[in-house]
Amino acid sequence: QVQLVESGGGLVQSGGSRTLSCAASGSIALYAMNWYRQAPGQERKLVASISSGGGVTNYADSVKGRFTISRDNVKNTLYLQMHNLKPEDTAVYYCNCVAWRDFWGQGTQVTVSS
């Protein structure tokens, strides 16, 4: 079982920055990890992905150049650095661990004010 706990959400002004963290209860070193987000009334969408070793990352077009996904496999923690935030980035952000099955955190709300 892998338990994931996101933190770092909150209210931020447009153009600002925020870093989200996702702490895992066990080792995540073998697993790819993702950040998803879900805005009100919309489907949950993939924001960024990172390979188990951290060497391969991918981003949704909407966040390329503004968000950076990273991980610390010693601390069993996933990160999402967000810069130049826009109101359309407002959503609940979820971390996801692709292990023998998908594991999800409870989400953390990010609200970007214009």
- Contact between residue 104 and residue 93 where contact means Cβ atoms under 8 Å apart: no
Which pLDDT belongs to residue 84?
A: 98
Give the Cα separation of 85 and 112 in Å (integer).
Answer: 7
Q: What is the pLDDT of residues 31-83, one digit of tens each?
A: 999 999 999 999 999 999 999 999 999 999 999 999 999 999 999 999 999 99
pLDDT at residue 49 in the model: 98
pLDDT band at 1 (very low <50, low <70, confident <90, very high): confident
CA distance 48 to 37: 10
